[in-house]
Amino acid sequence: MNRLLRRLAPVTAGLLLSAGALVATPSPAQAAPPGCWMGAGHYESAGSYITAYRYWFCENGEDIPLSVSIQRYLSPGVYDTVASGSGETTYYCAGMAYNVYRTTGSGEFAILCG
Question: Does 20 fall in a domain?
Answer: no
The per-residue pLDDT of the chain, averaged, comes to 80
pLDDT, tens digit, for every residue of 26-80?
334 568 899 999 999 999 999 999 999 999 999 999 999 999 999 999 999 999 9
**Nearest by Cα to 105 from 80, 88, 93:** 88
Say which CATH number the domain at 54 has: 2.60.40
Least confident of 64-68, 94-98, 101-105: 94-98
Per-residue pLDDT for 7 more than 60? no
- Measured CA to CA, the distance from residue 59 to residue 61 in angstroms comes to 5
CA-wise closest residue to 39 among 56, 62, 59, 60:
56
Indicate the SS3 state at residue 100. Answer: strand
Q: With pLDDT > 70 as the criterion, what percentage of the chain qualifies?
A: 74
CA distance 51 to 75: 22
**Closest among 109, 63, 66, 71 to 85, alpha carbons compared:** 66
User: What pLDDT sits at residue 10?
Assistant: 39
| Percent over 90 (pLDDT), the chain | 66
Between 23 and 41, residue with greater pLDDT:
41
**Residue 85 belongs to some domain of the structure:** yes
Question: Does residue 105 belong to any structural domain of this protein?
Answer: yes
Domain annotation covers residue 14: no
Domains in the chain, number: 1
* Domain interval for residue 46: 36-112
72 belongs to a structural domain: yes
For residue 21, being part of any structural domain is answered with no
